[in-house]
Amino acid sequence: MDFEQKKELIRKCFQYIDDRDLRVLELYTEDVELLFPKFGRHHGKAAIQIFAERLSKMLNYLKHDIDHLRFLDAGETVVVEGREWGRNVGWNTIS
């Protein structure tokens, strides 16, 4: 998969997350590693699913600025920088 294909897959992933679409888990392989600065590092598809379930219980909604994501090609790794915003279960704004 080339860098442009990886970027499109990542954009789709963020859209699935925003839509709370469970197909997001189909995009990952068993050796996935996710580093989410606010919530730590997660290894493996099962850990990603647990993380997503916990996060969904804390948030009423979440939105990513998908059109303005920044991507860094680091070989087998792609680093993504972007903005997100939403509201937690107490309806407090997060960003």
Per-residue confidence in pLDDT tens, the chain, 95 aa: 899 999 999 999 999 999 989 899 999 899 998 888 878 899 999 998 898 888 888 888 889 999 999 999 998 889 999 999 988 888 777 76
pTM of the model: 0.82
Q: Is 32 helix (H, G, I), strand (E, B) or coil?
A: coil
Torsions phi, psi of 59, nearest 5?
Answer: -120, 140
In the numeric block, which tokens belong to residue 34?
A: 């996710």
The radius of gyration of the chain from alpha carbons, rounded to an integer in Å, stands at 13
d(CA 34, CA 43): 7
Among residues 22, 32, 95, the alpha carbon closest in space to that of 64 is found at: 95
Q: What residue ranges define each of the domains in the chain, with the CATH number in brackets?
A: 3-94 (3.10.450.50)
Q: Is 35 helix (H, G, I), strand (E, B) or coil?
A: strand
